[in-house]
Amino acid sequence: MIKIISLICFLLPVLASADQFQIRPDAPNRYVVVKGDTLWDISEKFYEDPWKWPFIWGLNKETIKDPHWIYPGDVVFLDRSSGTLRINEMETSNVTQGMRDESGVIRLSPRVREDISSHDAIPSIPVADIAPFLSRPLVVDKDALKKAPSLIGAREGRVVLGAGDICFATGLSSDMGDKWQIYRPGKKFIDPDSGELLGIEAIYLGDAEVTHFADVSTVSITHSVQEAHQGDRLVVPSIDTSTNYLPRAPASSISARVISVYGGVSQAGQNTAITLSKGARDGLEIGHVLALYHKGEVVKSEGKSYTLPDERYGLAFVFRVFDKVSYALVMQTKLPVQLLDRAQNP
pLDDT digits (tens, 9 = 90+) for 96-139: 444 555 555 555 555 444 444 555 777 788 877 787 777 677 88
Q: Which of 197, 204, 198 is nearest to 181 (CA)?
A: 204
pLDDT the model gives residue 270: 82
| Residue 51 dihedral angles phi and psi, to the nearest 5° | -70, -10
The DSSP call for residue 324 is: S
Point out the least confidently predicted range of 28-32, 54-58, 165-169, 330-334. Answer: 54-58
Rounded-to-integer distance, Cα 226 and Cα 330, Å? 26
Contact 328, 274 (CB under 8 A): yes
End-to-end CA distance of the chain: 38
CA distances from 210 to 61, 108, 138, 161, 185 (A): 44, 61, 21, 15, 22
Task: Output b/e per residue, 228-240; b: 16+ Cβ within 10 A.
Answer: bbeebbbbeeeee
Rounded-to-integer distance, Cα 97 and Cα 115, Å? 17
Rounded-to-integer distance, Cα 315 and Cα 312, Å? 9
Q: Which amino acid belongs to residue 45?
A: K
The DSSP call for residue 238 is: P
Rounded-to-integer distance, Cα 207 and Cα 144, Å? 19
DSSP string, 120-160: GSPPSS-HHHHHHHHS-SEEE-TTTGGGS-EEEE-GGG---
Q: Is 325 helix (H, G, I), strand (E, B) or coil?
A: coil
Instruction: Report whether pLDDT(240) > 90.
Output: no
Q: What is the pLDDT of residues 135-177, one digit of tens each?
A: 677 888 877 888 899 999 888 888 899 999 999 999 998 888 8
Contact 97, 109 (CB under 8 A): yes
pLDDT the model gives residue 64: 40
Q: Is 161 helix (H, G, I), strand (E, B) or coil?
A: strand
**Residue 80 CB neighbours (<10 A):** 11
Residue predicted with more confidence, 65 or 318: 318
Q: Identify the structural domains of the chain with CATH numbers, from first to last.
A: 16-90 (3.10.350), 136-235 (no CATH), 255-344 (2.40.10.410)
Contact 27, 47 (CB under 8 A): yes
Rounded-to-integer distance, Cα 215 and Cα 196, Å? 38
Instruction: Report whether pLDDT(249) > 60.
Output: yes
Rounded-to-integer distance, Cα 158 and Cα 160, Å? 6
pLDDT the model gives residue 95: 41
Instruction: Report whether pLDDT(256) > 70.
Output: yes
pLDDT the model gives residue 307: 80
Q: What is the pTM of this model?
A: 0.75
Q: Which amino acid belongs to residue 335?
A: L
Q: What is the pLDDT of residues 293-325, one digit of tens each?
A: 988 777 888 778 888 888 899 999 999 999 999
Percentages helix, strand, coil for the chain (3-state, rounded to 5) are: 15, 35, 45
The DSSP call for residue 297 is: P
Instruction: Report whether pLDDT(6) > 50.
Output: no
Rounded-to-integer distance, Cα 334 and Cα 317, Å? 16
**Please, which pLDDT band fits residue 51 given cuts at 50, 70 and 90?**
confident
**Please, which pLDDT band fits residue 81 given cuts at 50, 70 and 90?**
confident
